[in-house]
């Protein structure tokens, strides 16, 4: 199935076909707008827009240290719970290349888990479920995962508890049931992914 898939991707590249991403840009923008209206980057203290993140869970936003301090008693318990949502992921290698929608080229299938030390505390990864079954096959295979600059990329198996949970989250709440964005972090050379799905990005 994997071989068929990469052949299919090669065909797409050759003919310049782009089955979904271009048409998506508008709806992604719309979804992001909606998300922003709700809680994304909203200060949990005063509800104005906030650009600083809680460094405990990386999920709560604040406009200032004052607001964060004032909110800590309320957030403390949730912060701990959210921290526990980060699950260590084991990357399995990628044996095949895949199409990079952004560059319009086929990326090498090389596994990579490097992230700059500055970004290591928290970064966003995109997880894409297997499209095998979307194109008429019966493949519900492994998920592709990478960060924006693709210094972290690999596959996550769906045959373990976390993998299948993530697959399910994306298929039910992800963008068009195909992809989802999640906070990730590196600790002691391991990659952790938070199970709370984020508003869609454009990459
Ligand atoms: Zn505030
Ligand atoms: Zn927190």
Q: Is 112 in contact with 125 (CB distance < 8 Å)?
A: no
Q: Ligand 1 centre and the CA of 59: distance in Å?
A: 15
Q: Is 47 in contact with 64 (CB distance < 8 Å)?
A: no
Q: pTM score > 0.75 for this model?
A: no
Q: What is the pLDDT of residues 133-192, one digit of tens each?
A: 544 444 457 888 888 888 888 888 888 889 999 999 999 999 999 999 998 888 777 888
Q: What is the pLDDT of residues 29-66, one digit of tens each?
A: 766 666 655 556 789 899 898 888 888 888 888 999 99
Q: Ligand 1 centre and the CA of 109: distance in Å?
A: 43
What's residue 138's pLDDT? Answer: 42
Q: What is the pLDDT of residues 67-117, one digit of tens each?
A: 999 999 999 999 999 888 889 888 876 545 555 555 666 666 666 666 665
Give me the residue spans of the domains in the chain. Answer: 39-83, 86-195
What's residue 4's pLDDT? Answer: 45
Q: Ligand 2 centre and the CA of 98: distance in Å?
A: 35
Mean pLDDT of 5-13: 48
């Amino acid at each position: 199935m994997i071989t068929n898939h990469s052949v299919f991707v090669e065909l797409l590249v050759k003919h310049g076909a782009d089955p979904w991403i271009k048409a998506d840009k508008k709806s992604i923008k719309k979804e992001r707008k909606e998300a922003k209206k709700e809680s994304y980057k909203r200060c949990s203290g005063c509800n104005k827009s906030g650009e600083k993140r809680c460094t405990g869970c990386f999920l709560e936003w604040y406009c200032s240290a004052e607001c964060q301090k004032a909110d800590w008693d309320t957030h403390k318990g949730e912060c701990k719970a959210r921290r526990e949502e980060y699950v260590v992921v084991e990357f399995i290698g990628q044996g095949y290349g895949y199409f990079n929608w952004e560059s319009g080229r086929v990326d090498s299938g090389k596994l990579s888990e490097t992230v700059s030390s500055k970004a290591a505390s928290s970064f966003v990864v995109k997880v894409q479920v297997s499209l095998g079954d979307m194109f008429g096959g019966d493949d519900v295979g492994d998920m592709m995962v990478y960060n924006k600059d693709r210094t972290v990329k690999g596959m996550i198996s769906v045959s373990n508890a976390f993998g299948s949970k993530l697959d399910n989250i994306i298929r039910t709440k992800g963008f068009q049931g195909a992809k989802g964005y999640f906070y990730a972090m590196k600790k002691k050379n391991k990659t952790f992914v938070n199970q709370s799905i984020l508003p869609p990005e454009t990459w």
